Structure 1
Amino acid sequence: MTAWRLWPRGLRARLLLAFVLTTVLVAAAAGAASAGSASSSLVDAAQQRLTKTVTDQLGALTSQLDYPPDQDALDRLRSALGPDTLVTYAALRSENGTASRLATEALHTEVRSRQRLVTQRLSVDGVPWLVIGTPIVITALDGTRTPSGIEVYSAHDLTGVRQQTDALTRAAAIAAAATLPLSILLALLAAGGVLRPVRQLRDTARRLARGDLGARTEPKGADELAELTMTVNDMAESVQTSMTTMERMRNDAKRFAADVSHELRTPLSTLTAVVEVLATTADGMEPDARESAQLAITETHRLVNLVEDLMGISQFDAGTAQLRLEEFDVADAVRRCLRARAWLGEVELEAPDGIRLLADRRRFDVIVANLVGNALRHGAQPVRVRVSTSAARVFVEVTDHGPGLSEEVLPHVFDRFYKADTGRARTPGNGLGLAIAKENARAHGGELDADDIPGAGARFVLELPRNPEAR
């Protein structure tokens, strides 16, 4: 977990780190391999040189020996070969320096058994040594070679060779370290080349997310990034086409609703006048005729309300809805709204006097009427309206004790023409009341929210600023 946290998260940082690590590791591996090869060559060359020196010396001295040799002969041979030399013959030994200590029993055994020159490298107390062991062979005039029984062991200090190999290793390490700045520079160039198209795609995606559907990135090259760029451009083109089509259809639908509503106002005004005359004479009609007349009157009023609501919605869609602000007492405005619709006896009102609000009184009345009417139609008694205030806001809360708002209904409760019970097509209302209430609340800089109170019913909370001009 700790190593994962230390690993950089940014793509640029990961590319840089991976490139630098790869370059340094390759340089270090190459340096170590070359240093090792050079060190091995140095040691082999030193061993060959020392071995040749010993064999040349012995070649010049063996012809002067008497066989079998005595102690004096062994001493002369050992002295001629130099320091750190051991010469043995049967029980006789002539030695100086460290040769007798360095020449192991295994080396002695191998020299006697193989009757040829044998070398051994070892380290004693941190000092590297090369021990050369060789038998002296007597060569007769006819070329016959006979072991003389004399064995020579010569030890040579390889400290100088080790110092040379250490110097090579240090040089390789310095060379690997010297590649670090260059690798960082190359990594920056490579990361820039890789990440530049990625950043351009990111910027394009951000512009698309902000609503700039014309944002595009020009593809460069023919690699995978160019293919990704073309794919993103194709996606953006498809989204732009779809959004343009949807926007045109939405505007056409809004324009159609506004035009139809406007065109229906005049004939509906005439029809309303006729219906009012019909209402005054309905009591004198036969029962069947009176029922038909009442149905015509009811449906005409519904149609008039629908047209009025459609015209109100079209004003919000077109951005032409205007507020006529005036200061009024909120409790008085709510009472007037309930009294005008004969709801005072059906609604419990908790509204202290003295709460002043600067708002469009007509639109405020529409909001309260739609909320209370919705509670009375779809909820159950008691229906309560509670007015409260804070330093800068006014709250109007409408609650009922009906079935409440289910999880399926709640997200759509303010949608236009939405009805929770699709089978009740003839229920009062046209599905626009709550949508109009929310639009009016937003026009004041306020908000209208709905939620479900478990065991109590639905609750709608209207929140308006005391002074919308101070927003």
Structure 2
Amino acid sequence: MTIRLRITLWYMGLLILVLVILCSALYSYVRYTTGQDIKNTIDRTVQDIHITQSVDFWRSLQINLSPRIENKQVIIQVVDYITGQVRYTSNLADSGYNLAYPEPDSNLQAAYSKVDINGSPFKVLSVPITLKDNSLVGLLQVGVYTGKEEQILGNLRLILVLASVSVLLIAFLLGLYVSRQALKPLHRVTVASTRIEGGQDLGIRIPRGKAQDEIGTLTDTLNGMLSRLQQAYLDMNQSYDTQRRFVADASHELRTPLTTVRGNSDLLKKLWVKLSADRVEQHHIDLSLEAIQDISDESERMTRLITDLLALARGDAGQIVVKSPVELYPIVAEAARKAALLPRTAGWKNELDIFRTIVIEADRAYLQQLLLILIENAFKYTPSGEVRLSGVRRDHAVGIKVQDTGIGISEAELPHIFDRFYRADVSRGRTAGYGLGLSIAKWIIDEHHASVEVYSKENEGSTFIVWFPIADQSLTVRVEEDDRE
């Protein structure tokens, strides 16, 4: 059963209950007032009848009726319990019908009853006639024709039933229409969900009406959920594409050193097996040393790749970087010294005086690793020109600035440079690497609650500025005291 039909049926049930209560109350009121009118008519008729009751010497009941009753709608019957004589009005005599009356009883009370005289309904009041000593001598019965009232009540019942049925039918059709209109947004939700389930288009959004109601709120919530779902799906696809590209690159990069290691190992094995029986010459030794050097270099490449992957895995596992107050200048100076020893074709300059006396909350090893990643990355993509390390201070923050005049990064690729396994297309095949360095750098930046700004333009170079909050003065004093000790 659909929600639309259930809502309509619930609405109909409540309406039926209300109609039953209202119709019952109306019918009961009309019936009660009609009955009271009939009783009042009977009571007035009884009051208009003057009965003089007495018993003569022969024990005969003398009853005098005045005035004379000529109303055809009223019947009167008087019973004499002493002589058994029954007197009645002419209209009752003409009908040939005698009203039934009870046997004489001292406990007889006035009572109403309903009788049918030749198909005509009457309501009869029976009143006992007593003497002054309360002895029962007769019975007065007055009846009023109630056919018109019964017809009115019957017509009222018919009108109420027909009107109720008509109202219910109209209400049912109207309820279906109203519920259909009210549930249209839910239908749109169902259609959109079905299309999304079929994988047709995650960009579908549910049209929202102007009404600020629960369905509007539901539509906003579902549209927000769909937006997040679409973004998650796009991110997942992008991540899969990046990882597939990385797997291809890593497979190639790992296969190359492994092939070199295996080839040189086989060469050494064959060479020294042959030389075991012959004289060892100098070119044999040179060839062996060259093979060993190749094995060492390729092993170092694989070690760096595995080290980078391990660093990212630790970050994913939720490893927390333990920070403490450290002077920034010695760390930057040490990174600059090591950077000067890195292989490069570009010039190298640094300006570090701004970092003196500055203290930040950091981990020494991770901070130095961050600087070396940025500097090495600048060397890698700067075949000619210059790489510069400097600093900038702003309010309560200090920025470490690594600037180069290399190949730069396109505007389209700039938002993705910190993604794992990402390598700009312009660098693929030109520079060695796996696209992990900047991802590790971003993780270190985030763990230090720092921020990074990147400015780049193709064929003009790139600038990375990492901002660290400066520690308060008390930490600076504490560090200086520790250094003196």
Larger relative helix fraction: 1
Tell me the TM-score normalized by structure 1: 0.46
TM-score, scaled relative to structure 2: 0.45
Give 1 or 2 for the bigger CA radius of gyration: 2
